[in-house]
Chains A and B, each alone.
Chain A
Amino acid sequence: MNIVDSILFQCRRQPPAAAICVPGPGIGLISYRRLEQFIHNVSRRLHALGLPERSIVAISIGDVIFHSAVLLASMRLGMIAVSLREGEISLPFQIDVLIADGKRSFANMGRVVLADLSWTEGDGRPLESHLLPQTHEDDLCRLILTSGTSSTPKAVGFSHKHIATSMARLSTFGNRIANCSRIYSDVPISSSLGFRFLIYALSRGGTAFFPGENFSSTLRVIEDYKVQCLVGSPSGFENLLRWFDTVPSYQSNVEVIYCGGDVLSRSLSDRLRSRICSHLISVYSSTEAGVAAVAHAHEIAEVPRAVGFVPPGVTVQIVDASGTLLPPGQEGQVRLRSEYAVDGYFGNPEESKKVFRDGWFYPGDLGTLSAAGLLVITGRAHAMLNLGGDKISPESIELVLAQFPGVIEAAAFAVPNEYGNNQVCAVVASRGKLDEQALRAHCEARIPRPFTPVKYLLVESLPHNENGKLDRRRVQDMVREIMARKV
C-alpha cells in the first residue's frame, strides 16, 4: 500500500474535518477536503515535470501545509521525497529535482523548479489511474536527513511499509497516544519525529499541528482547538516551559507529552510533569533505528539518565571496545538491533560502515542496561554534542571560534543548564587579551542560535594527548577547576 492512500481515505471519509493547522499568515488551516485537492493538483504539476519513478525530489518550501502537500503528492507518485532543513545547503547524494518556494538559495542542487501556491489550484481531480505507478510496499518514499548541521548530513531512507509499521507501533507506547487525534509537533516535518507524527495524525483522521508564526498564536491554537498531545525534544520543551513558568495562570489541558531526541533530565522531567502534563513519555530513539527504549517519565525519574525500557522487537546490548557483551549494569557501548531499524545510510556506504556493523546499529552512546531491561545513557562515545535534541559536532563550532583574530585554539563542549538541557560552552586559548563581546558577536553571526556558546572561558592554552589531539576529557576537568575557583 502507498502510505498516502491511507490519508486520501480519510479525506473521503471526513472532508470537512481539520487536517493540518499551522497558525499564522500562510495557509493556516486545511481541511481534509482541501488537502485532498492539494495533493491531486500538486500531483498533476509533479507529473508534468516528466520525472521517472523513484526520482529523488528535494523540497524546500517554508509553508508547512504547502510543503506537506508537495511531500505527500511526491510520495503518492512513487518518488522519494526529502525535506531540506533550514540552513541545508548541500546533500551527499544526487537529487533529481529541487522543488523550492524561491526563498532560499542552494549550491549544486541541479534542476530547480520554483513552486508557488498556484500549484495547489486546479480541479482537484485525482490523476488518471494509468498515470499512477504501482507502488510496492518496500519502495522507498521518504528520506530523512540526520545530524551534522554544518558537516554533511546523512540520509535515512524509509519505505511505505516501514512508515506504516513504525506508525502502528506508536500507539503501543501508551494508550493516551492511541487515543489522541490532535497532535502538536514542535519539531518540523523534515525530522523523523515530526514526519512520523504528521503521518500518524493524518492517516487516523486526526489533526496535525505545527508551530505558528509566533508563540502566542501557537499556544492559542493549542488551547482553543484542544490539542491533546505535544511532541518534541527536551530543548523545545525547555522553551515551552520557560513561557509556562513566566505565566503561572496559564492552565494546560494537554493529555500526553512525547519527548525524544535527547536524555530527559530529572529537572526537566519534574518541571514538565508538574507544570504542563503529568503524563510524560520519554523515548530513546534515532532516525536510523526508531524507538529503542520508552517509559513513562515518572517511572524512571529516580534513576539518573535512564531513558526507558527496551520495547518488543528491539534488542539492545552493551558491549566493550572489542565487541564482547557486558553483564547487566556494566557500562559500555550501546548497540541495537531492531525490526524498525534501517541497515545503512542512503547512498553513503562509507558512513554506513562506521555505525552499521554485523547487523547492529551503533548509535554512539555509552550506557548500561539493567537485568529488567532499563536502559541508562551515561555519555557519548564520540564528541557529538546533544543540546536537548539539537545535535552538532564540537569541531564545527571550534572552527568558527578559531577564525576570530587572536584565537590560537578553542574547544566547545556541553554544560547542562537549570533545566538539565545542555548548552554550549567555549574554552578559548588566545594570544593576548580577547574582546569577549566581539567574539560573542562573531559567533552569533555565524552559528545557528541553539549552538552558539552561552559561556566563554579564556585560557592560555588547551590540553592535548600524546597524539597532539585535543584532550576533551582534560578540557572538561580544566573547566571544572576554573568554575570551582570562581565560586
Chain B
Amino acid sequence: MNIVEPILFQSKLSPFTAAICVPGSKFGSVRYGMLEAFIHNVARTALKSGIVPGNIVATYINDTILHTAFVLGLMHAGATTLSLRGPKPVAGITPDVILTDVPGNVVNSGTVLAVDQSWLEGDGAAAPVAPQGSDDDICRIILTSGSTGLPKGIAFSHRMLAARIAHYTYSKGPRFAHCSRLYCDLGIATSPGFRYAMALLSRGGTIFFLGPDPADILQAIDLHKIQGMATSPYSLGEYLKFFEADEAFEVTFDHIICQGAMLSRQLSQRARARLCQNLYCSYGSTETTTVALGPASVLERVPGAVGYVQPGVVVEAIDGSGNVLPPHRDGALRIRTGHMAKGYVGDPETTRAFFRDGYFYSGDIGHLTAEGLLVITGREKTALNVGGDTVSPELVEDIISTFTNVEEAAVFALNDELGIARLFALIVAKSPIEESGLLQHCAQRLPPSCIPTRIIPVDALPRGAQGKLERQRLPEIAAAMVKPA
C-alpha cells in the first residue's frame, strides 16, 4: 500500500474536516477534500515534469502546508521524498531533483525545479500513478538531528512507515490514541513531525503546525479545541515561560508528549502544574522508532527514567565485552525493534558503527529496572573524563538546574594549560547567580570531580532542530564568552 492511500481514503470519508492547520500562515488550513486535490495535482505535475517513480526528490519549501502537500503528492507518485532544512543537500545523498520556492539559493548537482502554488492547481482527478509500486519502495528519507555532528539520512519504505504509524495506536499512550487534533511543535521535516502528521492524517484528524507568529497557535489551542501537543523539552520550557507570565491563558490540552531529550524534574513538575497534568515523556530515535514512554509523574521519581519499554522492543544494557547485564546494572544500550532502519543512506561507515548484529547501538548508557523502566544515566560520547574520573554531564546539569534561579545548564570539559580536563558549566539564569552559592550547592550533592571549576552565564544554550543540546558547540561558545573579560 502506498502510504498516502489512507489519507486519500479519509478525504472521501470527511472532505470537510480540516486536515492541516497552520494558524496565521498563507493557507491557514486545508481541508481533506482540498488536500486530496492537491495530492493528485502535485503527483500529475511531478510526473509531467519528468520526475519518475524511484527518483529522490528533495524539497526546500517554506510554507508548511505547501510543503506537506508536495511531500504527499510526490510520495503518491512513487518518488522518494527528502525534506531539506537548508538550501544545500546533505553529504552522501544526491537528490535527482530539488523542488523549491526559493530557487536562487539552492545548490544541487541534479535538477532544481522552481515550484509555486500552480502545482496545486488542476482538476484534482487521480493521476496515472505507477501501478506497480511495491510496499518496499523507499518513499521517504528523514534526516536525523545533527546532535552527533553531521546529519544522516534514514530511509523509510511504505511498509516501514505504515508499521510505525500503526505502532502509534498504543505507543504514545491512551490519550494520544484518542486524539484527533494534535499540535506538533516539531516541524514536518523532522522525524517526529513527519510521523505525527502521517498518523493524524491517516486517522482523519487535524494536525496543527506552528505558523509565522507563535501568538496564532496560542489562540488556536483553545479556539480549535486542540487536544494534544507533541514537543521537545526545550520548546516545552518556552511555552511554560509564556503561560507562567500570562496567567489569563487557560491551557486546555488533554495531554502533552515530550520527546527528543531528557526532561528535567523541575520542568516536568512546573509543566504539569501549569500546562497539563497529563505529561508523557517519549524516548526513541529516528533509527528505531519509539522505544519507551511513561507518564512524567512516574518518571520524575526515578532520576534518568525515560519510560517503560514498548512492547515489541528489545532494550539491552551490555558491558564492554558485549555481555547482557542484569536489571539495574548500567551499560551501553542496544535496541532492536520490529521496524527499525537498516542503516544510514549513503554512509556505510557510520552505519557499521551504530548498526551491528541486528541491533542499533544508541550511544546511551543506562539500565532497565525490574519493572521494565528504562533509565538513562549518560551518553557514551558525552561521558566526560575529568582527571581520571568518568563524569556524566547530565547528572551535573541536573544538580545545577535545581539551584535557585538557574533555568538550565550545560556541562563540558576543557583541557587546561597543563592538559588536565577541567569541568565548565554554561548556565542560563533568570537573574545573576552568586557563584559561591552555586558551587556550595554542587559540593553538597556531587563528588569533588563533578564540581565545575568555571561557571559562565549565557543567554541560551545551543540547540538543534529538535531541541537537542548541541554539545560539540559548547567549547566555542564558552570561549567567545570568556575572551572579552
A224 close to B (CB within 8 Å):
yes
Q: Do residues A226 and B224 form an inter-chain contact, with CB atoms below 8 A?
A: yes
Stretch at the interface among A13-21, A393-401, A450-458: A13-21
Stretch at the interface among B12-20, B51-59, B127-135, B138-146: B12-20
B485 close to A (CB within 8 Å):
no
Interface size on B, residues (CB 8 A): 19
Please give, as numbers and ranges, the residues of chain A lying within 8 Å of B14 by CB-CB distance: 249, 251
Q: Do residues A224 and B18 form an inter-chain contact, with CB atoms below 8 A?
A: yes
Q: Do residues B18 and A16 form an inter-chain contact, with CB atoms below 8 A?
A: no
B17 touches which of A16, A225, A251 (Cβ 8 Å):
A251
Interface size on A, residues (CB 8 A): 17
- For A18, give the chain B residue with the smallest CB separation: B223
Interface string of A223-265 (1 = CB under 8 A from B): 1111000000000000000000001011100000000000000
CB distance from A28 to the nearest CB of B (A): 12
Q: How many angstroms between the C-alpha atoms of A224 and B180 in the bound complex?
A: 12
A window 395-446: CB within 8 A of B = none
CB distance from B288 to the nearest CB of A (A): 36
Q: Do residues B223 and A225 form an inter-chain contact, with CB atoms below 8 A?
A: yes
B window 209-223: CB within 8 A of A = 218-219, 222-223
Please give, as numbers and ranges, the residues of chain A lying within 8 Å of B225 by CB-CB distance: 225-226
Q: How many angstroms between the C-alpha atoms of A219 and B218 in the bound complex?
A: 23
Q: Do residues B248 and A224 form an inter-chain contact, with CB atoms below 8 A?
A: no
Number of A-B contacts (CB under 8 A): 42
Please give, as numbers and ranges, the residues of chain B lying within 8 Å of A15 by CB-CB distance: 248
- Name 6 A/B residue pairs within 8 A (Cβ), A-sorted: A33-B248, A223-B16, A223-B18, A249-B12, A249-B14, A251-B16
Q: Do residues B15 and A16 form an inter-chain contact, with CB atoms below 8 A?
A: no
Q: Do residues A223 and B17 form an inter-chain contact, with CB atoms below 8 A?
A: yes
Q: How many angstroms between the C-alpha atoms of A76 and B8 in the bound complex?
A: 53
Please give, as numbers and ranges, the residues of chain B lying within 8 Å of A226 by CB-CB distance: 224-225
- For B252, give the chain A residue with the smallest CB separation: A17
| A interface residues (Cβ-Cβ under 8 A, vs B) | 14-18, 29, 33, 219-220, 223-226, 247, 249-251
B29 close to A (CB within 8 Å):
yes
Q: Do residues A18 and B16 form an inter-chain contact, with CB atoms below 8 A?
A: no
Given contacts A219-B16, A249-B14, A249-B15, is CB(A14)–CB(B224) below 8 Å? no
Given contacts A223-B16, A249-B12, is CB(A16)–CB(B224) below 8 Å? no
B136 close to A (CB within 8 Å):
no
Q: Do residues A224 and B13 form an inter-chain contact, with CB atoms below 8 A?
A: no
Q: How many angstroms between the C-alpha atoms of A280 and B480 in the bound complex?
A: 68
CB distance from B307 to the nearest CB of A (A): 31
Q: Do residues B16 and A17 form an inter-chain contact, with CB atoms below 8 A?
A: no
Please give, as numbers and ranges, the residues of chain A lying within 8 Å of B218 by CB-CB distance: 16
The 4 A-B pairs of least Cβ separation, nearest first, read A15-B248, A226-B225, A250-B16, A16-B249
Q: How many angstroms between the C-alpha atoms of A224 and B205 in the bound complex?
A: 11
Given A14-B250, A16-B249, A225-B223, 14 other A-B residues pairs in contact with their CB atoms under 8 A: A15-B248, A16-B219, A16-B246, A16-B250, A18-B222, A219-B16, A223-B18, A224-B21, A224-B29, A226-B224, A249-B14, A249-B16, A250-B16, A251-B13
- For B221, give the chain A residue with the smallest CB separation: A16
- For A207, give the chain B residue with the smallest CB separation: B223
Q: Do residues B224 and A224 form an inter-chain contact, with CB atoms below 8 A?
A: yes
- For A221, give the chain B residue with the smallest CB separation: B223
Please give, as numbers and ranges, the residues of chain A lying within 8 Å of B16 by CB-CB distance: 219-220, 223, 247, 249-251
Q: How many angstroms between the C-alpha atoms of A218 and B249 in the bound complex?
A: 26
Interface string of B147-189 (1 = CB under 8 A from A): 0000000000000000000000000000000000000000000
- For A247, give the chain B residue with the smallest CB separation: B16
| B interface residues (Cβ-Cβ under 8 A, vs A) | 12-18, 21, 29, 218-219, 222-225, 246, 248-250
Q: How many angstroms between the C-alpha atoms of A225 and B219 in the bound complex?
A: 12
Q: In this complex, which of B13, B222, B224 has the most chain A Cβ atoms within 10 angstroms of its Cβ?
A: B222
Please give, as numbers and ranges, the residues of chain A lying within 8 Å of B222 by CB-CB distance: 16-18
- For B13, give the chain A residue with the smallest CB separation: A249
- For B33, give the chain A residue with the smallest CB separation: A249
- For B181, give the chain A residue with the smallest CB separation: A226
Q: Do residues B250 and A17 form an inter-chain contact, with CB atoms below 8 A?
A: yes
Q: How many angstroms between the C-alpha atoms of A219 and B15 in the bound complex?
A: 13
CB distance from A201 to the nearest CB of B (A): 15
Please give, as numbers and ranges, the residues of chain A lying within 8 Å of B17 by CB-CB distance: 223, 251
CB distance from B342 to the nearest CB of A (A): 41
- For A223, give the chain B residue with the smallest CB separation: B16
Q: How many angstroms between the C-alpha atoms of A136 and B223 in the bound complex?
A: 36
CB distance from B15 to the nearest CB of A (A): 5
Please give, as numbers and ranges, the residues of chain B lying within 8 Å of A225 by CB-CB distance: 223-225
CB distance from A212 to the nearest CB of B (A): 15
Q: In this complex, which of A14, A17, A250 has the most chain B Cβ atoms within 10 angstroms of its Cβ?
A: A17
CB distance from A34 to the nearest CB of B (A): 12
Q: Do residues A14 and B248 form an inter-chain contact, with CB atoms below 8 A?
A: yes
CB distance from A55 to the nearest CB of B (A): 34
Q: How many angstroms between the C-alpha atoms of A17 and B29 in the bound complex?
A: 21
Q: How many angstroms between the C-alpha atoms of A14 and B247 in the bound complex?
A: 9
CB distance from B33 to the nearest CB of A (A): 8
CB distance from A92 to the nearest CB of B (A): 42
- For B16, give the chain A residue with the smallest CB separation: A250
- For B15, give the chain A residue with the smallest CB separation: A249
Q: In this complex, which of A14, A220, A223, A224 has the most chain B Cβ atoms within 10 angstroms of its Cβ?
A: A224
CB distance from A12 to the nearest CB of B (A): 9
Q: How many angstroms between the C-alpha atoms of A251 and B225 in the bound complex?
A: 17
Please give, as numbers and ranges, the residues of chain A lying within 8 Å of B219 by CB-CB distance: 16
- For A249, give the chain B residue with the smallest CB separation: B15
- For B215, give the chain A residue with the smallest CB separation: A16
Please give, as numbers and ranges, the residues of chain B lying within 8 Å of A29 by CB-CB distance: 223
Please give, as numbers and ranges, the residues of chain B lying within 8 Å of A224 by CB-CB distance: 18, 21, 29, 224
Q: How many angstroms between the C-alpha atoms of A219 and B17 in the bound complex?
A: 11
CB distance from A16 to the nearest CB of B (A): 5
Q: How many angstroms between the C-alpha atoms of A144 and B92 in the bound complex?
A: 74
Q: How many angstroms between the C-alpha atoms of A217 and B29 in the bound complex?
A: 13
Please give, as numbers and ranges, the residues of chain A lying within 8 Å of B12 by CB-CB distance: 249
CB distance from B220 to the nearest CB of A (A): 10
Q: How many angstroms between the C-alpha atoms of A250 and B225 in the bound complex?
A: 20
Please give, as numbers and ranges, the residues of chain B lying within 8 Å of A219 by CB-CB distance: 16
Please give, as numbers and ranges, the residues of chain B lying within 8 Å of A220 by CB-CB distance: 16
Q: How many angstroms between the C-alpha atoms of A50 and B281 in the bound complex?
A: 61
Q: How many angstroms between the C-alpha atoms of A17 and B250 in the bound complex?
A: 8
Please give, as numbers and ranges, the residues of chain B lying within 8 Å of A14 by CB-CB distance: 248, 250
Q: How many angstroms between the C-alpha atoms of A120 and B223 in the bound complex?
A: 23
Q: How many angstroms between the C-alpha atoms of A404 and B12 in the bound complex?
A: 52
CB distance from B238 to the nearest CB of A (A): 18
Q: How many angstroms between the C-alpha atoms of A249 and B10 in the bound complex?
A: 11
- For B12, give the chain A residue with the smallest CB separation: A249
Q: How many angstroms between the C-alpha atoms of A225 and B225 in the bound complex?
A: 7
CB distance from A21 to the nearest CB of B (A): 9
Q: How many angstroms between the C-alpha atoms of A17 and B248 in the bound complex?
A: 9
Q: How many angstroms between the C-alpha atoms of A14 and B219 in the bound complex?
A: 12
Please give, as numbers and ranges, the residues of chain B lying within 8 Å of A223 by CB-CB distance: 16-18
Q: How many angstroms between the C-alpha atoms of A236 and B17 in the bound complex?
A: 23
Q: How many angstroms between the C-alpha atoms of A254 and B225 in the bound complex?
A: 14
Q: How many angstroms between the C-alpha atoms of A472 and B247 in the bound complex?
A: 65
Given contacts A223-B16, A226-B224, A249-B12, is CB(A16)–CB(B248) below 8 Å? yes
Please give, as numbers and ranges, the residues of chain A lying within 8 Å of B248 by CB-CB distance: 14-16, 33
- For A226, give the chain B residue with the smallest CB separation: B225
Please give, as numbers and ranges, the residues of chain B lying within 8 Å of A251 by CB-CB distance: 13-14, 16-17
CB distance from A156 to the nearest CB of B (A): 35
Please give, as numbers and ranges, the residues of chain B lying within 8 Å of A33 by CB-CB distance: 248
Q: How many angstroms between the C-alpha atoms of A220 and B16 in the bound complex?
A: 8
Q: How many angstroms between the C-alpha atoms of A225 and B29 in the bound complex?
A: 13
CB distance from B226 to the nearest CB of A (A): 10
Q: How many angstroms between the C-alpha atoms of A225 and B206 in the bound complex?
A: 12
Q: How many angstroms between the C-alpha atoms of A373 and B225 in the bound complex?
A: 40
Q: How many angstroms between the C-alpha atoms of A18 and B15 in the bound complex?
A: 26
CB distance from A75 to the nearest CB of B (A): 25
Please give, as numbers and ranges, the residues of chain A lying within 8 Å of B13 by CB-CB distance: 249, 251
CB distance from A439 to the nearest CB of B (A): 40
Q: How many angstroms between the C-alpha atoms of A184 and B15 in the bound complex?
A: 22
CB distance from B378 to the nearest CB of A (A): 42
